[in-house]
Amino acid sequence: MRSGYIALLGQPNVGKSTLLNRLLGQKISITSRRPQTTRHRVLGIQTTDSAQTIFVDTPGIHDSEEKAMNRYLNRAARSVVGDVNAIAFMISARGWTKEDDYSLKSLEHNDAPVVLVINKVDQLGDKHHLLPLIDMARSKHDFIDIVPISARTGANLEALESVLQRLLPEGDLIFPEDQITDRSERFLAAEIIREKLTRRLAKELPYALTVEIELFKGQKGIVIGEKGKLLKTIGEQSRLDMEKLFDRKVFLQTWVKVRKSWSDDERSFASLGFDDV
């Protein structure tokens, strides 16, 4: 088993969040065509039978730091570089840009292996145009591998996953196998709202917007109850019944865990005890 962290790094709008969502098979990071869509570091956790790859989606690195937001986004992106096992450095298949040069500078003093991911190959009419781009990229950095992909269509993602998994150290799972992100449902809800605003509003307005959830209530909160009172009562009543049934003292510890769509997942059925038929 291999487990470790892979940073997704590159300039804004190169497709980092789209790639993360495609690799996980569901939406974790919001996307739009505007810069600054990704403002926070988001973990996307992909667990297979042989590896747990923890992708770190970062804000795009901006060549201008005039505004406090740009300085924050650059710090957020650069802060993860020293704490990962490998880096997927993403560029567009349309060509190497000065913004790519600026983003690459953040790797100057980094020892982690770097894989160049050339995204948006589906937008190329002639794939032979990739060859000069690959030759140029090799002169820019000592990339351990170069993998052309399309995050939008999923083209060649299996090859990318194979390359990245080989760079992970051997080790046990870092997160539970059914966990897909480190972010809360409250955070994800706010990000989805911000995505829709960003896509629909005028060009300048999205950069002046953020979203705050004042009240967020799900089924987990209903089961736990106010200040945990309902769960405590359920635990006490269950413990008393168990002591009568087993004719001995019982120590019972309860907590609530959310597992989405468990009732429509054959694998979850088996792990939850539905395996007697």
Question: Which fold would CATH assign to domain 2-181?
Answer: Rossmann fold (3.40.50)
Sheet holding 86-92, edge to edge: 42-47, 51-57, 2-10, 86-92, 114-119, 145-148
Predicted local confidence at residue 118, as pLDDT: 97
Kindly indicate the confidence band of residue 276, based on its pLDDT and cuts at 50, 70 and 90.
low
Mean pLDDT value across residues 85-91: 96
Q: Where are the domains of the chain?
A: 2-181, 219-261
In the predicted model, what is the mean pLDDT of the chain? 85
Stated pTM of the model: 0.74
Phi, psi of 89 (to 5 degrees): -95, 120
- Structure confidence at residue 128 (pLDDT): 82
- Specify the pLDDT at position 242: 86
- CA–CA dist 71, 79 (Å, integer): 12
Q: What is the average pLDDT across 53-76?
A: 76
Region of poorest pLDDT, from 24-38, 112-126, 175-189, 204-218: 204-218
Residue with tokens 């990704």: 38
Using an 8 Å Cβ cutoff, are 38 and 17 in contact?
yes
pLDDT at 66: 65
186 vs 117: which has the higher pLDDT: 117
> Looking at residues 36-57, what average pLDDT do you find?
88
Which residues are 145's β-sheet partners?
Answer: 115
- 138 pLDDT higher than 90: yes
Q: Is the pLDDT of residue 275 over 80?
A: no
